[in-house]
């Protein structure tokens, strides 16, 4: 038999509330063409699923369900946002090619940021 603790109920309540609070945003993305940052939504979703897995390993089954629900809403936000970007800016492209372009630009931005940080680090060390 599964034993449920007050912590499991508390975490479940909080995560379900987070998912419910995202529903107006999901409606805007699905019906009004709104766009969220795809990578933020995707990363939040993947980390949410990872957290649900952690809850599962702790035996917090209700919490895992609640966290999975929230992660699914974030995944839907990412997918519909990507669809909206494609429909508005790249109507002749496939969703996969737009996603690949997003990933490529994201990696380039990360590389640029890291390179700038490394350059700054070494220039400070050379001054001092």
pLDDT tens for each residue of 88-122: 999 999 989 988 888 898 889 889 999 998 888 88
pTM above 0.85, yes or no: no
Residue scoring higher pLDDT (30 or 107): 30
Please report, for the chain, the start and end positions of each structural domain, with discontinuous segments joined by +. Answer: 1-92, 94-128
The total of other beta-carbon atoms located within 10 Å of residue 52's CB is 21
| Angle formed at CA 22 by CA 66 and CA 42, multiple of 5 degrees | 80
Q: Which of 91, 61, 73, 95 is nearest to 28 (CA)?
A: 73
How far the first Cα of the chain sits from its last, in Å, is 64
Question: What does 44-57 look like in DSSP terms, one character per residue?
Answer: HHHHHHHHHHHHHH
């Amino acid at each position: 038999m599964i034993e449920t603790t007050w912590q499991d109920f508390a975490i479940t309540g909080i995560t379900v509330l987070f998912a419910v609070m995202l529903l107006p945003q999901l409606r805007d993305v699905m019906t009004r063409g709104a766009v969220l940052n795809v990578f933020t939504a995707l990363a939040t979703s993947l980390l949410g699923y990872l957290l649900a897995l952690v809850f599962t390993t702790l035996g917090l089954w209700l919490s895992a369900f609640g966290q999975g629900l929230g992660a699914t809403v974030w995944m839907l936000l990412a997918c519909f946002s990507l669809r909206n970007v494609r429909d508005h800016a790249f109507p002749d492209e496939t969703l996969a090619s737009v996603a690949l372009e997003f990933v490529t630009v994201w990696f380039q931005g990360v590389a640029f940021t890291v390179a700038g940080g490394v350059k700054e680090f070494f220039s400070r060390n050379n001054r001092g």
